[in-house]
Amino acid sequence: MTNYQKQFSILEGSGIGLFIESSLSETFKTAYLDIIDGLIEPIKAQHGCLDCVSGHHEDNPAVQNFIEIWKSVKPLKVHLTGPHFRRLLFAMDLASSPPKISIINAGKKIHVSSIDALFELVDELDCTHPKANVEQTMKGKSK
């Protein structure tokens, strides 16, 4: 079982995950990794964070995956308004193309098209129990 498979298996029963896949050019790869490496432990220390990992895609070393696992929507929502997430946004700006952003909730991966769509989705998930509305949310946001 890979580290990423382990992270996704945590989400089968409960929790919510933020998954970011960034394609990097050699020009910005070191700067991106420096930022990400500096964020892992501070994010893990946040209330409600179950885990935070980063690593390159198994088939393509130019693609970096970043995963945050949260106990529930509420601490994720707090994180999204804080300084660590703003730093993560800066790192994402170094990607050679717009990063692929997904929320993993109740075993379902929901792709979002932008940071604004991420905030909207998290707000929607915060309104009701995540398992109760994940199907409805997926119909509106999934691609």
Q: pLDDT tens, 34-66?
A: 999 999 999 999 999 999 999 988 888 899 999
Give the residue from 50, 12, 18 showing the smallest Cα distance to 125. 18
> Which residues, other chains included, contact 128 with Cβ-Cβ below 8 Å and sequence gap of 6+?
none
Domain hosting 47: range is: 3-137
Is 63 part of a structural domain of the chain?
yes
Residue pair 126/77 in contact (Cβ under 8 Å)? The answer is yes
- pLDDT for 141 equals 44
Enter the tokens of residue 40: 């892992």
Is 7 part of a structural domain of the chain?
yes
Is 88 part of a structural domain of the chain?
yes
Is 143 part of a structural domain of the chain?
no
- What mean pLDDT is predicted for residues 84-112? 92
Is 116 part of a structural domain of the chain?
yes
Is 142 part of a structural domain of the chain?
no
Is 113 part of a structural domain of the chain?
yes
- Per-residue pLDDT band for 10 (boundaries 50, 70, 90) equals low
Is 107 part of a structural domain of the chain?
yes
Structural domain count of the chain: 1
The CA-atom distances, in angstroms, between 142 and each of 71, 92, 108 are 23, 21, 10
Q: Spell out the SS3 assignment of 100-114.
A: EEEEEECCEEEEECC
- pLDDT for 13 equals 57
- What mean pLDDT is predicted for residues 102-127? 89
Decide if pLDDT at 124 tops 50.
yes
- What mean pLDDT is predicted for residues 96-103? 94
- 14-23 per-residue burial string, b: 16 or more CB within 10 A, e: under 16: ebbbbbbbbe
Enter the tokens of residue 26: 């050699």
Decide if pLDDT at 80 tops 50.
yes
CATH of the domain at 79: 3.30.70.100
